[in-house]
Amino acid sequence: MLISNSMKRNAIWPPMPSHLDHARSTPWAHRFTLLAMFVYVAKIADVLPPLSGLGLGKILIGLAIGALILEGGGWREGLLRNPILRPFLGIIFFVLAAIPFAIWPGNSFNYLTDSFAKEVVFIFLLILTTRTYEDIRRVIWTLVLNALVLDYVFFKYGLADIVQTPVGRNEIAMVSVMALGLLLPLKTEGMGKLLKVAGILTLIAAVLTSASRGGYLGLAFVLATFMYFRLGKKIGLTAMALIVIAYLGYLQLPSDVRTNIDSIINYEQDYNVTAPEGRMEIWKRGIRIIYENPILGVGINNFAVAEGQLDAGIRRPWMTAHNSPLQVAAEIGIPGMIIYFILISRLFSAALRLRKESHPDGFSNVGTALFIALVGYMAAGFFLSQGFSVVFYIIMAMSLSGERIISYLKARDLAAKEQ
């Protein structure tokens, strides 16, 4: 019996066992989800005043859920047992469990309903609608575009007025560093190569002009990791090339940027070491907060509140953690921090496994990109309060989806051989 071309396009071919038939494309659900990324990462509704007040995020998420139902539901089989998803669910559990015992429960609850819960729904949609190698590439390019939107905002306002925007220069630098890590190893052709080069130069320029020392370190680690992967195990050659490039680039930088870089080296005189509002003193107070609230922490988004209430007789602004692991431990407890590190460890392992894949779709480059982006997050995020950053969990969604797609493709190929 002859099978029509239209039937082949709408089904897996050759026919698959029913328990493996879960990779049906959901193009509209995926598109609406990617558009929602501009709401949660680039904050497009705040950047463009005409879009504010429209509830754009809710509209796009609603459209994505509706399209997902109409196009075939979710790719759910085995998802709850996934080794990457489980620590993510653990973090969500501790976020919820900590709220009734938080130092300011109302503040944590408002943050949950205003931001965190919506971002969690977005991440699950990203996982459920990312089903092919092409989908992952679209996620990467969308995240890069989000970073470029933030860079545009930074270039428009500059260092002096960037405080007027919903995303600060340090966060913009971190997102740019992670986007750069994703873009560097990505294979492109034709016009894509020009767009890739332009994107790389813009992202680097944004980090260098951000005056974010965490961004500088993240940039250095991303470039070093990329060069290591590109040059193989020739560590000496990689180090020499990086030193030469870094020194030549340093000489071309504006004087204020060089001053910020010098402060990383000559850190003893920096305010972060000497001032009460510097990072070293904040970290010490953060450790005290963890010591006093070890199990469930002080509640999500409450670090600054708890920090401000310490030593109330000392006048200083209430400060955020300026360190992602410290933020997680203080806000959802030491068990939550352990789960957070387990998640990071599994993401690195997944990226390395994808990097070793020889599948013709090119998952090796995706694995390299995810690994470098995680390196950028760890380096820049060590100096920022980004433990619950949606960008980090977008990397998680891509890593999880990449492994599930590879497992599906291998099962499909095996089933095809057995028929």
CA distance 155 to 38: 18
Instruction: Find out whether 78 and 128 touch, Cβ atoms under 8 Å.
Output: no
Provide the pLDDT for residue 247: 58
Q: Is 130 exposed, middle or buried (0-12, 13-18, 19+ CB in 10 A)?
A: buried
* Rounded (10°) angle between helices 27-40 and 133-161: 20
Q: How far is CA 340 from CA 75, 85, 322, in A?
A: 25, 11, 17
Q: 342-358, pLDDT tens digit by residue?
A: 999 999 999 999 988 76
Provide the pLDDT for residue 405: 87
Residues in the chain: 419
- Tell me which residue of 123, 119, 115, 128 sits closest to 29, measured CA to CA: 128
With a cut of 70, say whether residue 263 has pLDDT above it: no
With a cut of 60, say whether residue 13 has pLDDT above it: no
| pLDDT confidence tier of residue 1, bands split at 50, 70 and 90 | very low
Average pLDDT over residues 219-240: 77
Q: How far is CA 114 from CA 40, 111, 181, 327, 411, in A?
A: 11, 5, 30, 19, 41
Provide the pLDDT for residue 76: 61
Write the Ramachandran bin of 319: left for phi over 0, alpha for psi from -120 to 50, otherwise beta: beta
Highest mean pLDDT of the ranges 27-41, 307-321, 402-416: 27-41
Instruction: Find out whether 166 and 43 touch, Cβ atoms under 8 Å.
Output: yes
Q: Say whether 245 sits in a helix, a strand or coil.
A: helix
Let me know the angle formed at the C-alpha of 343 by 77 and 356, rounded to the nearest 5 degrees. Answer: 75
Q: 146-201, pLDDT tens digit by residue?
A: 999 999 988 888 877 776 677 888 899 999 999 999 999 998 888 889 999 999 99
Q: How far is CA 144 from CA 22, 95, 166, 195, 328, in A?
A: 28, 29, 19, 11, 26
Q: Say whether 3 sits in a helix, a strand or coil.
A: coil
pTM, rounded to two decimals: 0.85
Average pLDDT in the chain: 82
Amino acid at 259: T
Q: Taking the domains of the chain in order of start, what are their residue ranges?
A: 79-418
Q: How far is CA 308 from CA 50, 286, 311, in A?
A: 36, 11, 8
| pLDDT confidence tier of residue 310, bands split at 50, 70 and 90 | confident
Amino acid at 391: V
Q: Is 308 exposed, middle or buried (0-12, 13-18, 19+ CB in 10 A)?
A: middle
